[in-house]
């Protein structure tokens, strides 16, 4: 069992995922790391000879290929489903006028931008950020529990 992982590190890792990168929890260190598809491909093809001269990300890719069992991929944007979180937030609002307005703006293409604009205009943006942060935290805790990772809040 590795060191305790900070839930905030996992949340940050989930929030800042980028295209063409995989984000993992490295169990032995308790660190959240991102490795590009490019470096993982190179490591898989055996393009890295020795680990002495490798950059940090190249070394991580090499380590992943050699010891993939100590890396656990964080929930991806598809696992997280931000749109569903926005819907849940809208339904959690007691003020019917605000709830209805937000539910209307999240329909169709461009929903995320319209939602944020409306949340600012309706003065519920801070409530949204609090709600979203709590939901991400819940996902991070479930992730830790699923993979038997000890965590601290």
E strand or H helix at 82, and its extent?
Answer: helix 82-92
Same domain, 81 and 138: yes
Q: What percent of the chain has pLDDT over 90?
A: 71
Q: Which domain holds residue 85?
A: 77-146
From CA 78, how far away is CA 37, in angstroms rounded? Answer: 18
Six-digit token string for 111: 């929903």
pTM of the model: 0.87
Same domain, 141 and 84: yes
What is the structure's pLDDT at 131?
A: 98
From CA 95, how far away is CA 101, in angstroms rounded? Answer: 10
Mean residue pLDDT of the chain comes to 91
134 belongs to a structural domain? yes
The number of folded domains in the chain is 2
Same domain, 94 and 130: yes
Same domain, 91 and 105: yes
Same domain, 83 and 139: yes
């Amino acid at each position: 069992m590795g060191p305790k992982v900070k839930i905030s590190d996992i949340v940050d890792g989930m929030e800042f995922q980028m295209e063409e990168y995989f984000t993992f929890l490295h169990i032995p260190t308790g660190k959240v790391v991102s490795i590009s598809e490019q470096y993982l491909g190179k490591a898989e093809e055996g393009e890295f000879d020795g680990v002495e001269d490798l950059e940090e990300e190249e070394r991580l890719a090499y380590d992943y290929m050699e010891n993939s069992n100590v890396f656990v991929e964080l929930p991806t944007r598809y696992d997280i489903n931000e749109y569903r979180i926005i819907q849940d937030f809208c339904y959690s609002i007691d003020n019917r006028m605000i709830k209805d307005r937000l539910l209307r703006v999240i329909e169709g293409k461009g929903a995320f931008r319209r939602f944020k604009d409306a949340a600012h205009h309706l003065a519920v943006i801070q409530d949204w950020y609090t709600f979203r942060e709590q939901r991400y935290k819940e996902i991070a805790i479930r992730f830790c529990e699923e993979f038997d990772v000890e965590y601290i809040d």
